[in-house]
Amino acid sequence: MFSMNFSSDKTDDGKNTAVHVRFMEMALAEARKAMSIEEVPVGAVIVYRNEVIARGFNQREQRQEPTAHAEMFAIREAAVSLRHWRLQDTTLYVTLEPCAMCAGAMVLARVATLVFAIRDAKSGACGSLWNIAQDPRLNHRLEVIEGVCGEESRALLRSFFHGQRRKPKYAGPPNSP
């Protein structure tokens, strides 16, 4: 139930590596916030004109909300910050390859660039299982850079899931009255 396959066979091409690392470290700080409340440690930040305008971390368990992913919080906050739903010229940094929902939201929001740390072989939608972020049939495509701070993200996720395996399995929702 809690096992995930994390891999990354591509790395950043070197373009803006120091900048990417700086912002990915901020996304990792968000991931640690998620881990501190026993959420899957995924964090995201959105950058516009070299400034962080939005942050997010996973909160599905805390909120009992299936769409409470790090990227979704960051996208919503960025739209408020820019006062526009089009997030053109922004870069979204996230510690794990986005799922189909989050990749779709990035396409719809017109995010320019996605930078992620590691692939998610079980639900990744930006190159692993699907490539929604660069699908030519859609009206917008993102530049995708992967592998930035991959080891740090992988270690955080492995630590979290190692701890989860030691806990009793989830038995399902409570009985209704």
Task: Please list the active-site residues.
Answer: 71
Instruction: Write down the H helix ranges in the chain.
Output: 17-36, 60-63, 70-82, 100-109, 150-165
Cα torsion 154, 1, 121, 76 to 10°: value is -80
Is there a contact between 59 and 35 (Cβ–Cβ < 8 Å)?
Answer: no
Q: Tokens 């881990």 correspond to what residue?
A: 35
